[in-house]
Structure 1
Amino acid sequence: MKTKIFNLIVALICLNISIFARTALSDTTFFYVSKAHQLCAPDSAFFVIKKYKLNDKLWSKVEVEKNSADTNYEQRASDSSFNIKEDTSWYYNQNEIYEDIYKNNKLQKVNILARLGRHLEGYAIMSSNGKDVKEQKGWDKEGNEIPKYVCQREASFNNSAFGSWSQYLTANLNKDTPQKFGAPRGHEYVVIVQFSVDKQGKIIGVLALNNPGFGTAEEAVRVINSSPNWLPAIQNNKPVIYRQKQRITFQVQ
């Protein structure tokens, strides 16, 4: 009788371990992407992304270079789709670590740390909307404060001839493109365009992520490629490449 009870206990323990292992595995997913961050086969991947459940409240996503195993970034979010950023995320480059602190999907503070020694080089405290900088400071290697230091600034369209970015798009987009290509009336065609602003403020790497047809993707790419230069993004008082997506809608009445 004791032997049967013991065997039953062992069987239950093994069952629990098996269930736990399957659950843990289902909460961990690997993605393989190219250098351009497009999904690809594992053999041709440049980056490996691991997404997993950190605890009951947070998910974590880590991207590493496949060959060197160097970490590119670590993100935290309260949802598995990473639409709601929470807690602290880290972004690594050659010399610095950018530490973004979120609360309820709003950026609270940015810390810039030296990669060696991890001492604080600069910070920015964000306003309540999580976008505008309320206060920022930075220091050189000797610990002297840098005047007019910019910890973080997004790239922005700044052209007096056109006004805002949306005004530029409205004025320069050929809105009747789908009609010219025979699109039926009463439809809406949405193109999502990905592009970057380089360190000099030039638009580069323009790519339509979808193509509803009737010339819409080509026209969306054209109008963004034709943009005047932007103000480049800045991190740690240095210009950096800035990536953005733009939604462009064509309506056929």
Structure 2
Amino acid sequence: MKTEPKYRRPLNTHQIAILNTLYKFRFTTTALLAENQQAKHQRVISNRLKILVDQGYIGMNYDSSYKIKGKPATYYLLTDGVRFLRDQPYTQESALRSIYQDKRANDSRIQHRLNVFKTYITIKQTYPDRFKLFSKTELMNKPYVPKTRPDAFLIDNQSDKSYFVDYLEDTMSFWTLRKAIRRYITFAELEIWQKYKLDQPHPNVLFICESAQLIKRVDNLIRRELDSSYVDIQMTASKLDDLILS
């Protein structure tokens, strides 16, 4: 059983930034965190993470099998990290409660969250200061998004455009992909967005696909599902490396 640290120094701004990132995206690696913070040396980030692990604010997924497979360690919030965030004005209690389950997350769920974090970093680097991204955690209890929340909600600061964003992996089944597409069409048919955002155009839907092969599958499903509906919404599939937001 892990013992509580005898002494904790007050968290500094760099450590708080890591806790905030884990609240927003739930999981991270050293490399992603370094890229997000534009750190020149990953060693600096590793040291910050180690201190937070040692102090009991965050947990780490890592064992001997990770090294054999070439997998990086992943990090997530622990109870004391959640307790610290609970005192911050920007967090939601329902979101904080859901974080307690992260210590039991399987590999596919963790990787999905990492893919979403990578998507955020890429958009931020490609379009500096242009977009505001709200993660799935931050969208909890928001009535203007589908009940099964998107991975992210993206707002364009230079126009009236916005996007529901989902990251899709190659391992997703036909039915999972169809359900992902169908929920946005149903959401549009019910005109839920207009009830809360009457003066704003309906968000476009952006599917970030893991591969070119998956894009073809998703494009075919989008056409099929839109053909059977009267709604007029823009749905796009793209690889992250090829993403263009006009």
With a CA cutoff of 8 Å and minimum separation of 6, indicate the structure with the bigger relative contact order: 2
Choose 1 or 2 for highest CA Rg. 1
More helix by share: 2
TM-score (norm 2): 0.24
Normalising by structure 1, we get a TM-score of 0.23
Query: Which structure is higher in strand share?
Result: 1
